[in-house]
Amino acid sequence: MASQERVTAAVLIIGDEILSGRTQDTNLNSIARYIAQYGVDLAEARVVGDIEEEIVTAVNHLRGRYDYLITTGGIGPTHDDITADCVAKALGVPLHEHPEIIAMMSARWGDELNAARRRMARVPEGGTLVKNPVQGPPGFQIGNVFVLAGVPSIMRGMLEDVGHRLRVGAVVISQTLRVEGSGEGVMAAPLERVARAYPDLSMGSYPFFSPAGYGSQLVIRGRDLALVEAARRDLEQALVAEGVGNITFLDSDGR
Amino acid sequence: MASQERVTAAVLIIGDEILSGRTQDTNLNSIARYIAQYGVDLAEARVVGDIEEEIVTAVNHLRGRYDYLITTGGIGPTHDDITADCVAKALGVPLHEHPEIIAMMSARWGDELNAARRRMARVPEGGTLVKNPVQGPPGFQIGNVFVLAGVPSIMRGMLEDVGHRLRVGAVVISQTLRVEGSGEGVMAAPLERVARAYPDLSMGSYPFFSPAGYGSQLVIRGRDLALVEAARRDLEQALVAEGVGNITFLDSDGR
C-alpha cells in the first residue's frame, strides 16, 4: 500500500574500475529508475574504491541516513572482492558460508568448487539471499542493505528480487515541457515564479543543444498528480506571457 | 614535473536529474580519464541533489580530504542552479558578479542580459575563470575546487582548461591480460598470489560474458612500469601453471 511519506535510498558503487575510468557505470541509473517505480527516491550516491575502510565507513553512513542502501560490485571470487567482508564488519556480524549457496555451487561445480568460489557463498549472519537469475551466485540483503553484483546485466537481474521487499512510497510523477528555440535565460524568471508558487513540487531546467536546435526541458516533479498538472499549466501560461513559444507537453515519464 | 607522490581528486556530481534516473551521468568517467593523464587519481565520487545543505557539506568534506575537487552541474541561470552559491558558502566567501563574465555576456546579449543570465556571472571572491570553449559562460576555480558545467559537451570543453592547473603526479600505468574461456574462480588463486607478491600494485579482475564467450580481464595497475611488467609476466606464468590458457596481453591503456 503506497503511503504519502517519502521513502529514500542511497546507492554505493564499489570498484576501482569505475574511479579509474576503465568502466562507465550504468548501475546508478538502472537502480534510480527501478526504485522510482516503487516510490523510493534515490537521495544520494557514492563511488568508492576497493578499500575496506572506505567501504565500511560509507556503508555505515548511508544505511543510517536513508531507508535503504543498495551496493553494487565487489562480490566476485577474487581478492579484490571485499564487499561481503566490509558489510559484515560495518554491521558487526560474522560472515558465514550460506548452506543454500554452497548447495547451488556444489551442484554447479562439483570437485571444482575451490576456495575462491566458496568466497562467493559468504553472507553476513542474519542475511537473506537475493536471487540471481542471470549468472553465478546470489546477492544478499541484511537489514536495510542490499548487496548486488557489479556486472550490469547481473545487477539488473538481481534488482527484480529487491522491489517487492521495499516499503512502497508515493510514486513521483513528472511532467516535462519541451521548449525549442529559447534559451534558459528567458525561461528562468517564469520558471522561478511558478516554482515559488508550488513549494511542494520540484522544478528543474535541462538545456539541450543539437545541430537541429536548442532549448530546454522544463521538468516538474511531485507526488500529487493534480498539483503537478496545475503547475504545468501555470508554467505554460507564464512562458507564453514572457513571449516564449514552441512549447510541447511531453508525456509524463515518471522521472 | 611529475613526482612519485600520489595526487588525488574527488568528483561531486550535482543534480536531481542524475538521482531521479532522468539523465545517465557520463561526466565521472570523462573526468577520471582526463585527470589520469596528469597522474591524478580519482579517489571518490559523490552524487547529490539540488539541496544547499547537501552540496555545502559534500564540498567541504571532499575539498578537505583530497588534493582537488571537481564539481559538475548546477551553474545555469535557473533557480535550481545553486552550485556557485553553495561553493561560496562552503568556503565562507562572498559571491560577486565577475566583470569579465559580465563583459562577455553584455557583448553577447546586449539588452537581453537579464537577472537570470547575470546569475551565471557570479563567482566566489578570489575565484579565477575556467574557459568555456563550447557554449555559454565560463566555470571557475577557487582554491582546490573546480566548478564545471553539467552538460557533458560543455563539461569536457571546460576540462581542457583544468589539466594545466593540476599538480602532476606519477601517471598510473595499467596492463591487462584478457583471458577467454576460464571463469574467475580458477584465476582467483594465482591472481591473489601475485597480488600479494606486489603490494605496491593494485590488481583487479573484471569478468565479461557475451554470446561470443566469457572470461575476465585481469588488470595490473601501478606507477612503476618495470614493476607492472614484472607482475604481468609473473601472473601470466602463474595462470599457465594453473592450467589456464587463451591469455592475450592487451596494450597498456593507462587505466
In tens, the pLDDT along A101-111 reads: 999 999 999 99
Read off the pLDDT of residues B153-207 as tens digits, 9 standing for 90 and up. Answer: 999 999 999 999 999 999 999 999 999 999 999 999 999 999 999 999 999 999 9
Mean pLDDT of B126-148: 97
CATH number of B7-165: 3.40.980.10
- pLDDT at residue B5 in the model: 78
Q: pLDDT averaged over chain A? A: 94
- pLDDT at residue A5 in the model: 78
Q: Which residues of B touch A15 (CB under 8 A)?
A: 204
Range(s) of chain B covered by CATH 3.30.70.600? 173-250
Confidence category of residue B3, pLDDT binned at 50, 70, 90: low
| Chain A interface mutation, best of B12, B78, B119, B135, highest count of A Cβ atoms under 10 Å | B78
Q: pLDDT averaged over chain B? A: 94
Contacts of A226-229 with C-beta under 8 Å, sequence gap 24+, read A227/A198, A227/A200, A227/A201, A228/A173, A228/A174, A228/A175, A228/A201, A228/A252, A229/A175
- pLDDT at residue B253 in the model: 61
Distance from CA of A148 to the nearest CA of B (A): 15
Q: Which residues of B touch A112 (CB under 8 A)?
A: 185-186
Read off the pLDDT of residues A119-135 as tens digits, 9 standing for 90 and up. Answer: 999 999 999 999 999 98
Range(s) of chain B covered by CATH 3.40.980.10? 7-165
Q: Which residues of B touch A215 (CB under 8 A)?
A: none
- pLDDT at residue B132 in the model: 97
Indicate if the pLDDT at residue B245 is higher than 70: yes
Read off the pLDDT of residues A26-82 as tens digits, 9 standing for 90 and up. Answer: 999 999 999 999 999 999 999 999 999 999 999 999 999 999 999 999 999 999 999
Residues with Cβ within 8 Å of B180's Cβ and at least 6 positions away in sequence, in order, are: B213, B214, B215, B246, B248
Q: At what angle do helices A27-36 and A152-159 cross, to 10 degrees?
A: 20
Indicate if the pLDDT at residue B254 is higher than 50: no
Indicate if the pLDDT at residue B1 is higher than 50: no
Residues with Cβ within 8 Å of B130's Cβ and at least 6 positions away in sequence, in order, are: B138, B139, B140, B141, B146, B147, B148, B158, B161, B162
ipTM value > 0.90:
yes
Indicate if the pLDDT at residue A1 is higher than 50: no
Q: Do B188 and A20 touch (CB under 8 A)?
A: no
Confidence category of residue B218, pLDDT binned at 50, 70, 90: very high
> Are A161 and A170 spatial neighbours (Cβ–Cβ below 8 Å)?
no
Q: Closest by alpha carbon to B1, among B167, B158, B123?
A: B167
CA dihedral A75, A100, A56, B185 (to 10 degrees): -30
Mean pLDDT of B108-117: 93
Q: Which residues of B touch A25 (CB under 8 A)?
A: 25, 28-29
Which residue in the set A31, A46, A188 is minimally distant from B116, CB to CB? A188
| Chain B interface mutation, best of A8, A22, A151, highest count of B Cβ atoms under 10 Å | A22
- pLDDT at residue A4 in the model: 63
Say which CATH class B173-250 falls into: alpha beta
Cα B138 from Cα B148, distance rounded (Å): 8
